Structure 1
């Protein structure tokens, strides 16, 4: 009988799930879906065989209730078929966890200490682990870390310009979105071969966003650093910010640490500048009549262009630029605006190819190839679970 690996990708307001054949996971899940809008007024549930519909989670422990609903739906879909393992996307592995690991009480406790470094994601993945450890202790769980892919970063990219003792305590640049970049390294090698092994920048543009500069398909530079706040402007996160602004908020405006955290993680980025939405699609729809929406999008593009330039500088040039994740894969307009501002690097788009979301969207004469490649974090996590549990 076929057994399945369940992959959970837990965020602060959504939980994605996917089921893969545990013996040899196909890149396309046997079943997948998500609960979104958790904690908001109208959460809903949708899966590949179930229409999206409203979900009553209540106001008390909505996240726990969402996990329970997903569990019920998965068991219904399995119809008696076994689960071999559960794989979790975990944003932060810290200095210790640089490879996937089977979850036990000690691992869980150590990962809880990293919650302040990734408060939008870490607590929720750990909640799912804790529930399963308590209720199904014999079910293997594997934690797969977004920071692990960036273990190849050279030391000069890891060290922060603080007293060196801070680096020795773990205050360093880690990098994130590693499961996405790991998949991209594999997919780009398959699609472009040696053409992807040069100076490549992958732009993971979603509600969270970052860039990864790769040489020989290994991470050598990235925009997120010690936390998932660094680098690009995001849906509700600031990206790179003058630390003096944080000191000002606390010292002059008297915001508490908790209030500052909320501003930086939940009230900034596209949402904060526009005052309208964190979703670029909504801002693009109203930018002609909403100056702050237009400003937010202009700033989003400007920050992406500046950071791509910094990646090119770190790589010594640019051969391949790849867009992935929700915005990167689907926003024709933002891809066009970003690439238009990169003409100085030799980037030139084929507008027709970009409009149809083709795999290669650069013009034939472009000095830099530009590609659109869907990411697949869940499959990478399922594969890691298979590898970790193979000797058992």
Structure 2
């Protein structure tokens, strides 16, 4: 069964084509910096053991244009991996916010699409992009089954004391205002891998997903019991363009002192803050270059970023009443050795000790980077949201 997985982020789009049940992808691709002048696509496919790479740059103003370009590469005569759109049986879509309506992978219908639309305001950087990709895929692969896999689903196991806010009861009962959590597909995938590596199905884990969007999850025996993002994906850690945790009084102050509108404040906190607001760029690789050039603002941004993660590690260790491992994953978590080092410093009391040499030695796959005397494992686990989505689609009845 050919399953094409589309994973649209706020400024990126990843995709993989699987011939399930084979877990090795036929091809993979990444579109980065969508909407910027230096946007690019990097597509990889395999012919036997040989890897072929196709790269294209520029001309990608939005997710709609990006996905059209991706689909053109997939079907290029002579070099493409499909001969016609009918070769694709299922298109699996990562959708960020499913509210309380969706706790499982779901076949997409007009009613499901409309519900995704109603949740735009809760995930303004993602749900619109996810919706656009669904519409493009429906037109491009008219005979394929379209399936949505929701980031919020994994966190439906949280207890009420973790997902409820201290608001009047009616706001939950009638408006369903609560913590939903995100990056659930990634947190589920990497914690499952960690439990296998630890040979401990009842492991107490903290999953740290650091990309353009960032979140953490406290996971006990494979079940999410708390997470840093909340009603929408704005809360918690400092992110590429999102502020993370902020005193709501700041919002009231900006409305009163500067006359900012709801739309302006939403844009400020979701699109103009975080690393972008602190440094002028949301790309950690560019910020790292600035740190090496002794840029004080870039250094402060990295310190703030790491400090926020450390605070959550302490909180989640308390919530779990113990800790077997912390997991670094996603683009920054897997690749930025300096951020991992900054986060893990001064955590000796919790038994978390990093081996500096192991941290800086990159090897493929899951790797342990804690020192020999660390009581807690420190794991780098490459996430694979696309494979997790493909597996959920493959297991879904009706596909």
> TM-score normalized by structure 2?
0.92
Deviations 1:16-57 (A, max 9, x none): 1110013x041x311011222222223222111333331334
Which stretch of the first structure deviates more once superposed, 28-37 or 156-165? 28-37
Question: What is aligned with 1:188?
Answer: 194
Q: CA deviation at 1:316?
A: 1.3
The answer as to 2:145 corresponding to 1:140 is yes
For the residue of structure 2 that corresponds to 1:219, the secondary structure is strand
In the alignment, structure 1 segments of 5+ residues that lack a partner are none
Q: CA deviation at 1:280?
A: 2.3
Deviations 1:298-346 (A, max 9, x none): 1111111111111111111222111111111111111111111312211
For the residue of structure 1 that corresponds to 2:75, the secondary structure is helix
Q: CA deviation at 1:191?
A: 1.1
C-alpha distance 280-136 of structure 1, shift in aligned 2 (>3 A): closer
1:14 alignment partner, one of 12, 15, 19: 12
Q: CA deviation at 1:15?
A: 1.6
Alpha-carbon separation, structure 2, partners of 1:176 and 1:316: 23
Q: Is the 8 A contact 2:4 2:90 kept in 1?
A: yes
Question: What is aligned with 1:78?
Answer: 81
C-alpha distance 97-69 of structure 1, shift in aligned 2 (>3 A): same
The answer as to 2:53 corresponding to 1:50 is yes
C-alpha distance 72-233 of structure 1, shift in aligned 2 (>3 A): same
1:281 alignment partner, one of 282, 285, 296: 285
Alpha-carbon separation, structure 1, partners of 2:16 and 2:119: 25
Match runs of 1:182-221 below 5 Å: 182-194=188-200, 197-221=202-226
Match runs of 1:1-392 below 5 Å: 3-22=1-20, 24-26=21-23, 28-48=24-44, 49-57=52-60, 62-76=62-76, 77-80=80-83, 82-134=87-139, 136-168=141-173, 169-194=175-200, 197-274=202-279, 276-287=280-291, 288-357=293-362, 359-388=367-396, 390-392=397-399
Q: CA deviation at 1:131?
A: 3.0
For the residue of structure 2 that corresponds to 1:78, the secondary structure is coil
For the residue of structure 1 that corresponds to 2:368, the secondary structure is coil
Aligned residues between the structures = 382
CA RMSD in angstroms, aligned pairs only: 1.6
Q: Is the 8 A contact 1:361 1:371 kept in 2?
A: yes
Alpha-carbon separation, structure 2, partners of 1:367 and 1:126: 44
Q: CA deviation at 1:182?
A: 1.4
Q: CA deviation at 1:221?
A: 1.0
For the residue of structure 2 that corresponds to 1:220, the secondary structure is strand
In the alignment, structure 2 segments of 5+ residues that lack a partner are 45-51
For the residue of structure 2 that corresponds to 1:252, the secondary structure is helix
Deviations 1:353-388 (A, max 9, x none): 111136111111112111111111000111111112
